[in-house]
């Protein structure tokens, strides 16, 4: 590049601006926009004529004689009144398979090492078999990981970030954390990174990684956590000196696809020096192929990467794979770094050219095991090449009479510039402190150089990124017509962005995993009996929604169900695909069991799949008017198998009392509910039985919907109606000649019970979610629906008339009509509902300042337990992290707030309101003298959950746990982590820090009630105003209304935002 052109490009790239986060009053997305600092550009003629920044594959024509229009403007002009937004247009293209917009996305795991899939040990100890220390040198078998990375949807070709600060002993290629054995509360990532933004098609994505300039404290983090017990907090990286004096880098990664080409991706990496002094940063983006060649006996055709350059000297990496089209990674030269006001550091006429490096994505057997490498170029070669101290003695024997360093360097990376793993090594020397900035631009595309005449025009490159970001703004703004404050808007945006970022390519073939690979040593003989040996049919090769791509880089069945609720708002097709996949024959066992999670596919998660399926169906119908009956029917048919599996396997006595096991609630019980009781006897689970009642009602719900189009389902609906009645009746069960109940009349709560034998049973009086979950089993039927299906109506009335004792006991009386002549199916009668709510809304029991606690605070002073064979088993109130090692000790259900179970409680209250209306008022909080109807109570819980994340009047967020840097630092305060669960009293985030999966439900709460949500720690809105709000937004319809008030018609009746009211009664 000519020196004059370098200066011109610098002035275009470093546009004027300030990299400081804006205040809330300055824009709609504070903290989400990257401002590249620099001096104002001077009028200069560019060496490259300014042309349209659109791809040569552009589908929308433009008038070359007119001023250049953005792609959005062109699309709007072309589609006219049918135009609903650029991103929505891409979603339609993707669904119709006109463009494969989701071929490329954030599908790399955040952690592939120490996963069950990579574990080939004799004892099933995944944490020790493949530790972090091996990850840089050892090829993965089942997937790849990286920092802020992307891949294609079959993870053949991968791209991610790597960095070096000239202090660390290794390159920062992947995220570090302590393992399940090292952490005092189980595994935990020890990095600072944020998923900031993503469009549903990943046409735009943004990621932030904070990289220390000091040596990364790997050993300190392990040692401190290993020596802490479970009664103290975890040792985090902010507790070390790694970020003292702000000596760190803010490294932003942005991805933007071409306007009409889903395979062409612009990548911009922007690094800010937050320290006061100049510092050097190596930015080393990687491009590599997943290793698929080391496992089969006959080596398949090899993919390859090799170096090339354009006629003008621009370097690029060419990628060839047997099952992909050719790709090119163009590595644009970077301008020198600038200080905060735009002055160049160093010679402004000399651009920074990357060094292109190549090796093989193969294991370094010599380094790890003292063996012989099949190739001289191995996976960790870039560490050896860039960091002299990393080489150790492994290469010393390679020295000859020539210069040792030269030979060693040449031996580490392939001098022929080819391989299966590559990198572009940019070095930015002495980047000024106080906000100095360095920028790297790259383009990954199947387009060859002749098809990209403006390849080196970084101004046009930036235009592409800016346009994709604005289109993403347009997409999210379309859900909000009312005013939601900027902070709530940002929380919602990052929650959705995080959920879209936590997609992952998940590959697992049980047969190959159990038996081992032909080209590798056979696994230990006993390994096949450790876990998952019964799942022989399993073959997974899909993009799945993960709970947390570092701490839980595997799907979990009930997590997935909750993920799909907010995902259905932004991408219904993806949400439906997730629910459909788990019921397909290569996931679900032939007997109907749905896999739980990879540590034990045979474990049992709560049966929420039917609920999520119908909710996603209704959300899509509300937002788009589309009824995907094929999806609903397909999943319903498979769930019939799953329901039968539950009845046959988890109701051992055949009396409709279910023993599901831990049911996702880990340590909530006195005993480990997944193991035989130390007392002997059988555990009768109130929550297990309630979950099945909930399952029944959702299957009934779906059957009635399908019966509108196929009368066969009317009989199936009757079947689930009767089954629900029998399950409800089983909350009082027979033990010999005696009758026992899971309901405690004196306490007004449901409890688990141990049945020792005929006539010998005892309740376990622990006030926990176990006693609240029966509220989930609630359904309201409209009179129009009952009258629409005469067969169902006749069978229901016969049952009520001829089985009065069964139908009236332990549940709401179906014969009593409620508001609007509706009928209520629920486990809890009015009297029991009121008594449960007295405890649930008591701030000294379940009702915390940030939602419903998982265990009553009553057990803080009154723990409950029993002595068995000389050992004490006890449940006490632990509002924060777990004090026990049960289920790994990394989650806690003995007090903290969990958003998923709160979500179902909120929906249940909304459904109860449909039936009772304003006739049922409860004191909220208990003892406050303030009475609310149940939908007002539901909204109050929603607001308390939003308060976990929102800034209070002092600018603090409860989730930050009082950390002054997270709350007050301008480069931290706008960013959030979405933790797994939250401290019951303070709201501090706990557990997995990037579990946007179900904690992303807060975005749904903001959409539903953010308009009326007060700031945290401010007085509650007067009741009269809240009541007025509900009068306007709560639809009078329940789950089923008449045709004149269809779900689709509700779209035109929305008065506050484009989602309107998305609670169950409106849907």
Is residue 140 within 8 Å of 301, Cβ to Cβ? no
The lowest-confidence range among 4-8, 432-436, 743-747, 909-913 is 4-8
State residue 490's pLDDT score: 95
The pLDDT confidence band at residue 769, using thresholds 50, 70 and 90, is very high
pLDDT per residue over 551-579, tens digit each?
999 999 999 999 999 999 999 999 999 99
State residue 995's pLDDT score: 87
Higher pLDDT, 661 or 321: 321
Question: Which residues fall within 8 angstroms of residue 358, CB to CB, at 6 or more apart?
Answer: 305, 306, 307, 377, 413, 414, 416, 417, 418, 419, 421, 422
State residue 808's pLDDT score: 67
State residue 801's pLDDT score: 84
Higher pLDDT, 796 or 704: 704
The lowest-confidence range among 283-292, 309-318, 648-657 is 648-657
Residue 18 pLDDT > 50, yes or no?
no
Distance CA 545, CA 412 (A): 37
Count of all residues that appear for the chain in the document: 1067
The pLDDT confidence band at residue 15, using thresholds 50, 70 and 90, is very low
**What Rg, from alpha-carbon coordinates, does the chain have?**
30
The pLDDT confidence band at residue 175, using thresholds 50, 70 and 90, is very high
The lowest-confidence range among 721-730, 848-857, 984-993 is 721-730
Q: Give the single-character DSSP code of 28.
A: S
The lowest-confidence range among 275-289, 624-638, 666-680, 995-1009 is 666-680
SS3 label, residue 327: strand
Q: Which of 87, 187, 207 is nearest to 146 (CA)?
A: 207
Q: Could you tell me the CA-to-CA distances from 406 to 393, 396, 410 in Å, in that order?
A: 15, 12, 6
Residues of the chain with pLDDT > 90, as a percent, come to 70
Residue 29 pLDDT > 80, yes or no?
no
Residues of the chain with pLDDT > 70, as a percent, come to 84
Distance CA 1060, CA 619 (A): 11
Tell me what the mean pLDDT of segment 755-779 comes to.
90
The pLDDT confidence band at residue 754, using thresholds 50, 70 and 90, is confident
Is residue 948 within 8 Å of 495, Cβ to Cβ? no
Higher pLDDT, 326 or 458: 326
The pLDDT confidence band at residue 193, using thresholds 50, 70 and 90, is very high
Tell me what the mean pLDDT of segment 532-556 comes to.
96
Tell me what the mean pLDDT of segment 8-35 comes to.
42
State residue 805's pLDDT score: 74
State residue 505's pLDDT score: 98
Q: How many CB atoms lie within 10 A of CB 419?
A: 25
Percentages helix, strand, coil for the chain (3-state, rounded to 5) are 35, 20, 45
State residue 1015's pLDDT score: 84
Is residue 144 within 8 Å of 279, Cβ to Cβ? no
State residue 67's pLDDT score: 61
pTM score: 0.90
Residue 212, φ and ψ in degrees, nearest 5: -65, 150
Opening angle at CA 374, ends 174 and 360, nearest 5? 35
Residue 607 pLDDT > 80, yes or no?
yes
Average pLDDT, the chain: 86
State residue 659's pLDDT score: 59
Residue 814 pLDDT > 70, yes or no?
yes
Question: Which residues fall within 8 angstroms of residue 397, CB to CB, at 6 or more apart?
Answer: none
Tell me what the mean pLDDT of segment 1032-1036 comes to.
35
The pLDDT confidence band at residue 484, using thresholds 50, 70 and 90, is confident
């Amino acid at each position: 590049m000519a020196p004059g052109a370098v200066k011109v490009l610098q002035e275009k790239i470093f546009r004027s601006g300030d990299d400081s986060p804006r205040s809330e009053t300055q824009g709609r997305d504070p903290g989400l926009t990257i401002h590249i600092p620099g001096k104002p550009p001077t009028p200069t003629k560019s060496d490259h004529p300014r042309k349209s920044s659109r791809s040569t594959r552009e589908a929308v024509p433009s008038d070359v004689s007119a001023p250049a229009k953005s792609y959005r403007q062109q699309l709007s002009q072309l589609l006219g009144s049918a135009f609903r937004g650029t991103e929505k247009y891409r979603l339609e293209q993707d669904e119709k398979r006109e463009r494969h917009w989701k071929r490329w996305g954030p599908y790399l795991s955040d952690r592939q090492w120490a996963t069950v899939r990579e574990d080939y040990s004799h004892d099933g100890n995944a944490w020790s078999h493949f530790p972090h220390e091996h990850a840089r040198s050892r090829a993965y078998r089942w997937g790849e990981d990286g920092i802020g990375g992307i891949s294609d949807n079959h993870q053949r070709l991968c791209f991610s970030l790597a960095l070096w600060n000239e202090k660390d002993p290794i390159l920062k290629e992947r995220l570090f954390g302590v393992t399940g054995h090292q952490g005092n509360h189980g595994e935990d990532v020890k990095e600072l990174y944020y998923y900031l933004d993503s469009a549903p098609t990943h046409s735009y994505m943004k990621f932030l990684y904070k990289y220390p300039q000091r040596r990364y404290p790997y050993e300190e983090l392990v040692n401190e956590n290993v020596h802490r017990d479970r009664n103290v907090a975890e040792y985090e990286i902010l507790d070390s000196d790694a970020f003292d004096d702000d000596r760190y880098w803010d490294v932003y990664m942005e991805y933007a696809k071409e306007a009409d080409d889903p395979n062409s991706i612009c990548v911009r990496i922007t690094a800010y020096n937050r320290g006061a002094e100049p510092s050097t940063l190596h930015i080393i983006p990687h491009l590599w192929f997943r290793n698929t060649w080391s496992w089969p006996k006959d080596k398949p055709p090899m993919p390859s990467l090799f170096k090339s350059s354009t006629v003008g000297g621009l370097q690029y990496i060419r990628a060839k794979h047997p099952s992909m089209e050719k790709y090119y990674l163009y590595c644009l030269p970077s301008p020198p770094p600038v200080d905060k006001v735009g002055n160049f550091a160093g010679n402004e006429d000399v651009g920074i050219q990357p060094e292109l490096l190549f090796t093989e994505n193969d294991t370094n057997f010599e380094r790890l095991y003292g063996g012989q490498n099949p190739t001289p170029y191995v996976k960790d070669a870039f560490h050896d090449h860039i960091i002299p101290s990393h080489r150790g003695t492994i290469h010393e024997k390679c020295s000859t009479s020539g210069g040792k360093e030269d030979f060693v360097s040449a031996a580490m990376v392939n001098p022929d510039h080819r391989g299966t793993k590559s990198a572009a090594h940019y070095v930015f020397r002495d980047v000024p402190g106080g906000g100095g900035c360095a920028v790297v631009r790259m383009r990954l595309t199947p387009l060859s150089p002749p098809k990209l005449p403006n390849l080196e025009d970084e101004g046009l490159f930036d235009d592409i990124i800016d346009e994709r970001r604005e289109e993403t703004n347009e997409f999210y703004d379309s859900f909000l017509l009312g005013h939601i404050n900027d902070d709530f808007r940002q929380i919602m945006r990052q929650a959705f962005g995080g959920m879209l970022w936590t997609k992952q390519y998940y590959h697992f073939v049980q047969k190959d995993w159990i038996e081992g690979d032909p080209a590798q040593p056979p696994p230990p003989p006993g390994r096949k009996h450790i876990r998952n040996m019964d799942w022989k049919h399993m073959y997974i090769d899909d993009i799945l929604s993960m709970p947390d791509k570092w701490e839980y880089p595997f799907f979990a069945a009930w997590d997935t169900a909750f993920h799909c609720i907010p995902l259905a708002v932004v991408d219904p097709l993806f949400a439906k695909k997730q629910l459909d996949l788990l019921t397909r024959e290569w996931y679900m066992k032939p007997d109907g069991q749905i896999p739980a999670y990879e540590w034990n596919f045979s474990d049992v998660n709560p049966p929420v799949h039917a609920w999520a399926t119908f909710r996603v169906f209704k959300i899509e119908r509300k937002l788009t008017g589309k009824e995907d009956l094929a999806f609903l029917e397909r999943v319903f048919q498979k769930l019939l198998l799953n329901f039968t599996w539950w009845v046959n396997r988890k109701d051992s006595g055949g009396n409709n009392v279910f023993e599901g096991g831990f049911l996702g609630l880990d340590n909530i019980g006195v005993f480990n509910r997944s193991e035989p009781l130390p007392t002997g006897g059988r555990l009768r689970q109130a929550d297990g039985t309630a979950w099945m009642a909930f399952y029944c009602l959702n299957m009934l719900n779906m059957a009635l919907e399908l019966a509108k189009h196929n009368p066969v389902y009317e009989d199936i609906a009757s079947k689930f109606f009767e089954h629900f009645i029998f399950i409800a009746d089983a909350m009082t069960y027979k033990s010999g000649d005696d009758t026992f109940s899971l309901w405690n009349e004196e306490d007004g709560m449901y409890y688990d019970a141990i049945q020792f034998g005929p006539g010998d049973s005892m309740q376990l009086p622990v006030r926990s979610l176990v006693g609240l979950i029966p509220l989930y089993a609630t359904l309201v039927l409209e009179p129009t629906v009952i009258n629409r299906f005469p067969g169902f109506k006749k069978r229901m009335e016969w049952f009520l008339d001829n089985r009065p004792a069964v139908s009236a006991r332990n549940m709401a009386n179906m014969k009593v009509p409620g508001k609007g002549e509706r009928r209520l199916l629920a486990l809890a009668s009015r009297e029991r509902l009121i008594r449960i709510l007295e405890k649930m809304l008591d701030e000294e029991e379940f009702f915390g300042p940030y939602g419903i606690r998982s265990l009553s605070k009553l057990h803080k002073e009154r723990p409950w337990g029993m002595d068995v064979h000389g050992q004490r088993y006890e449940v006490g109130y632990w509002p924060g992290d777990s004090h026990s090692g049960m289920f790994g000790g990394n989650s806690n259900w003995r007090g903290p707030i969990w958003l998923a179970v709160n979500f179902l409680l909120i929906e249940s209250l909304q459904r109860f309101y449909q039936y009772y209306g304003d006739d049922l008022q409860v004191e909220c909080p208990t003892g406050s003298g303030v009475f609310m109807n149940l939908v007002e109570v539901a909204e109050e819980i929603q607001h308390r959950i939003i308060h976990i994340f929102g800034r209070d009047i002092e600018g603090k967020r409860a989730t930050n746990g009082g950390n002054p840097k997270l709350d007050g630092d301008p480069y931290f305060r706008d960013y959030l982590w979405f933790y797994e669960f939250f401290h019951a009293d303070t709201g501090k985030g706990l557990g997995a820090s990037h579990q946007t999966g179900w904690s992303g439900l807060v975005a749904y709460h903001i959409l539903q009630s953010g308009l009326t949500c007060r700031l945290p720690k401010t007085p509650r809105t007067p009741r009269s105003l809240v009541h007025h709000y509900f009068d306007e937004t709560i639809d009078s319809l329940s789950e089923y209304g008449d045709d004149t008030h269809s779900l689709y018609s509700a779209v035109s009746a929305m008065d506050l935002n484009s989602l309107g009211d998305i609670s169950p009664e409106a849907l």
